[in-house]
Amino acid sequence: MFRFVLNQWRRQRGKFILTLVGALIISAGLSLMFNLTDSSQGTVEQTLQKKWSSAYDIVVRPKGSQMTTESSKLLEPNYLNGINGGISFKQYQQIKQMDAIDIAAPVAVMGYANIGISIPNQIHFPDEPGIYRLSNSHYGAGGFSKELIAQDGAYFSTMEEPLVPPNTRLIHLQDPKGFSSIQPFTYSLIVGIDPEAEAQLVGLDKSILNKKKFRYFNQEDVPSASKKSSNEFNIPVLINPKSFNTGYSQFKLEQVNVDLKTKQARDTFYQRLAQSDAPQPLDQEKRKIIQNIKVDASKVESAFFDSLLGQKTKVFPHSEANTNAQLVAQTGSLTYQTVKSPFPTRWENAYEVHTAPTAFKNAILPSSYLPKRGFRTVDSYEIKMKKSDGSAFKSMNPYLTFNVVGLYDPNKINVSKDPLNELPMETYRPSAASIVLDSKNEPVNPAQPINTTGNPIGLLTNSPNVLTTVDSVQEVMGDQSISSIRLKVKGASSVGEQSDKTLQRIKSEIERETGLIATITKGSSPQPVVTKVVDDGKTLGWIEQPWIHIGAAITIFRETSVGFSGVIFAMLAVAVVYVLATSYVSMLARRKEFAVLLALGWRTKDLYKIVLIEAAILAGFVSTVALIVEGIFSYVRNEAMNGWSLLWIALFSLVIYLAGATWSAWTIRRISPYEAIKTGEYAKAARVGVKLRSTVTLALKELIGKWKRNSLSVLSIALPTALLTFFLFVTFHLQGVLYTSWLGQFVALQVGPMHYVTMGVAISIAILTTGEIMWQNVTDRRASLAVLKALGWTNGAIRQLIVLEGFLVGLISGIIGLIVAYSTIYVLYDLVPWNEPLLIGVSLALPILFGVIAAFIPAQLAARVQPYQELKDAS
């Protein structure tokens, strides 16, 4: 029986070679698929597992604090900054007591406090009597340009005759030498934390400096309200002595440049001032600078903290800290507008931020305490005064007295500094960005880094240098003062569907029970985003920042899993279709031969043995080639051979070819010895209502007339095309996921080649399948083709007919494949990519190309038909 099979293959060398080529491609494809898929899948999962951990798993925010960018799964780097309360302590306790919550660490943003010092013996008025202007301007540095944050000034007179018009608001100095101190100040952000939770979350207790002298918060550190006034509080604090502030204060002493030596000159000057309609007539007078003093804001902070600690500062040895820090304002978040990216290949997402006039209203403080324009909204925080306070104001800003417990170093906190999965921790790190395009959209090379400027309503904000407890914030600002809660969740330690389900369940439970917003941040990764910065209608430039791509890791895990599953399924489906098609074609070619054998007395079981032996030989051939390919892979990668891959390949090969043998055996059961003496087409011709008017109609008539076998031909192309279309969608969709975040780009370096190798193998098998069926079509139609040649058809016309049939088969297959592929995409992704004309075009063009290429060799065979010989054999 074995020799019979070998002789059979030897007599039909052409088809046997074609069968071997198909088996070779299948074996190599399966081996490459398993090796590359295992390698890529392992790389992806290992990488994601390493990058899965983050500072916190879920962040809870007040309702209404969502950003418009979250619809694109993006969070601005300082998305927690600008949320001023909104979560109650009752809600915090409710979340904290949930069984699945391991750590619940709240953040309560108090706002910006005005802290400053007094430095004596700095201002020196000249001995010459006159009118002088002393101004204090607070600037921010490190951004696009120098920013004027706050400005204050006053006019002083050292003359004996201080009487001037009231509209000048001139202050008379009786003792100029006694007025020599300057009071530089800066803004410091104050944030409240839960000491116990923060120690568990980031190890804040391990970051305390000089532990012999200082310590971490304990239960004795409680806030206290003043008995004298409703707006005075004493709160425990931790201080970061390393300032992030890049601003500075500038003091200018200027002399009004006017002749005041004689009484007549003074009267003329006073009269001119009295007749002026300007808000401050003295501003219109020329001045000359007498003294200019610059004080860095970082030195002000350092001196202020040193004074609180009871130690003299090296910078200003004789300075004294202001007794209280005045809580001035709370600022909002940036408002982003979506714009077209200047370079979409570099930055997929682009936004725009604008400045707006500052609306700062305060009962005591002037509007000049903040810039005239800013990128953020600002609200003055004031406390209603009681009648017992004896204050002339109905409301006043809180005054905070700092009880320093210890110093901490934010660089020692235990949070991930891996750029692939780093989450924003603005409680400990300041914002940063780089100018990448100038105002004319020209690249800035190298990119120019910019930092925080100390401006509360500026583009980039400082992280707080003063930490207090959430209990202190509650004492000052009430019960709804928690801004956000960062959570660590139990049972979400590893990347995968189970962890994602756990996080999704906790998220839904929090939102259902509390009405707050819960966002899953675990598995997120930075993504470069460019933002256009516009100040008062003028473009300053474009900055790049690493925004947070929410859930990048789990998205990559899902998409790569679908991609790898699609690869395996596509390869197996194409291989199965090929084997079934070749088995069917083989039975069409050997049907009469098997009928003869049955007429000679062979049993049906003997024919079963033939097809089973053929299937076993081909399966063994596939396994052998796979063993060789596996050996090459192992040698190149210097690794041990993967026995599991070989086992799976052998099993798949056996299943595939046994499926083909089963199909053949089912066909053999329907063969009768009578077919050995029957001539012509054994199947009944279908009635075709197509008039023969052209080559196209003739091709259609041939296809429809033998619709059963041609349906198999259509299926053999349609199924691989559908899978290939789906695979292309997954591939490009996956790349869209990978290249949006730094983590995705890192993973993408490992998974690219596998897609293209498998795609090439699938295309090769699809073409081979179609060619085999087209070959059989030509073989069965040799007599009819001979008639056409006898009637005068040229070889070129015969080739054109067969190629046209391949074109039509490919077109029909493409339409069916596209429908199947888009249906699959809809089921898996809940979308239909109609807006992908390239995908649709490729889905239709590829099967047509397959059909034309597959018809090329059969067309050559058809053109070689000899009319006399074929008609003689048919008769």
- Residues 238-275: tens digit of each pLDDT: 998 887 777 899 999 999 998 888 888 888 888 888 88
| Coil, strand or helix at 848 | helix
Cα atoms in the 13 Å half-sphere on the side-chain side of 602: 20
Q: CA–CA separation, 459 vs 478, rounded Å?
A: 29
Beta bridge pairs of residue 396:
383
Least confident of 345-354, 404-413, 657-666: 657-666
pLDDT value at 532 more than 80:
yes
Is the backbone peptide bond immediately before 366 cis, with ω within 30 degrees of 0?
Answer: no
Beta bridge pairs of residue 449:
434
Alpha-carbon torsion 863, 868, 869, 870, what sign? Answer: positive
73-to-388, 503, 550, 733, 744 alpha-carbon distances in Å = 52, 16, 5, 16, 14
pLDDT value at 98 more than 90:
yes
Tens-place pLDDT, residues 591-631:
777 777 777 778 888 877 877 887 787 777 777 776 776 67
Contact 550, 518 (CB under 8 A): no
Beta bridge pairs of residue 252:
135, 292
* Mean pLDDT of all residues in 759-765: 69
> Which pLDDT score is estimated for 672?
74
Residues contacting residue 136 through CB under 8 Å, at least 6 positions apart: 151, 152, 153, 182, 183, 184, 249, 250, 251
Residues contacting residue 612 through CB under 8 Å, at least 6 positions apart: 658, 661, 665
User: Which amino acid belongs to residue 157?
Assistant: S
Q: CA–CA separation, 460 vs 451, rounded Å?
A: 7
Given the structure tokens 């509650």, which residue do they identify? 474
> Which pLDDT score is estimated for 171?
86
* Mean pLDDT of all residues in 461-474: 91
Contact 241, 298 (CB under 8 A): no
> Which pLDDT score is estimated for 686?
47
Contact 614, 661 (CB under 8 A): yes
**pLDDT band of 698, cuts 50, 70, 90:** confident
User: Which amino acid belongs to residue 791?
Assistant: L
Residues contacting residue 758 through CB under 8 Å, at least 6 positions apart: 29, 32, 33, 36, 567, 570, 571, 727
Q: CA–CA separation, 411 vs 424, rounded Å?
A: 14
| More confident position, 558 or 170 | 170
Nearest Cα residue to 189 out of 125, 276, 69, 109: 109
Task: Please provide the average confidence, as pLDDT, over all residues in the chain.
Answer: 80
pLDDT value at 135 more than 50:
yes
**pLDDT band of 873, cuts 50, 70, 90:** low
pLDDT value at 15 more than 70:
no
pLDDT value at 12 more than 80:
no
Q: CA–CA separation, 711 vs 721, rounded Å?
A: 15
> Which pLDDT score is estimated for 562?
63
Structure token pair of residue 302: 């350092």
pTM for the model stands at 0.72
> Which pLDDT score is estimated for 683?
45
Given the structure tokens 């259902």, which residue do they identify? 512
Query: What are the two backbone dihedrals, phi and then psi, of residue 440, each rounded to the nearest 5 degrees?
Result: -100, 15
| More confident position, 717 or 202 | 202
The vertex-189 CA angle with 229 and 334, nearest 5°, equals: 120
Query: Cα 140 vs. chain centroid, distance in angstroms?
Result: 32
581-to-158, 585, 776 alpha-carbon distances in Å = 108, 6, 11
Whole-number percent of the chain with pLDDT over 90: 22
Q: Is 793 left (phi over 0), alpha (psi -120 to 50) or beta?
A: beta
Q: Strand runs (DSSP E) across 286-349, as ranges? A: 287-296, 320-321, 325-331, 337-338
* Mean pLDDT of all residues in 544-552: 83
pLDDT value at 680 more than 70:
no
Q: CA–CA separation, 298 vs 306, rounded Å?
A: 12
Residue 771: its H or E element:
helix 742-780
* Mean pLDDT of all residues in 46-64: 78
Residues contacting residue 421 through CB under 8 Å, at least 6 positions apart: 51, 52, 53, 54, 523, 524, 525, 553, 743
Least confident of 145-159, 273-287, 732-746: 732-746
User: Which amino acid belongs to residue 270?
Assistant: Y
Contact 534, 354 (CB under 8 A): yes
Residue 497: its H or E element:
helix 497-514
> Which pLDDT score is estimated for 771?
77
Q: CA–CA separation, 430 vs 419, rounded Å?
A: 16
Nearest Cα residue to 108 out of 381, 447, 484: 484
**pLDDT band of 486, cuts 50, 70, 90:** very high
* Mean pLDDT of all residues in 741-768: 62
Q: CA–CA separation, 577 vs 716, rounded Å?
A: 6
> Which pLDDT score is estimated for 407?
93
> Which pLDDT score is estimated for 569?
67
- Which residue stretches of 314-375 are H helix? none
| More confident position, 714 or 27 | 714
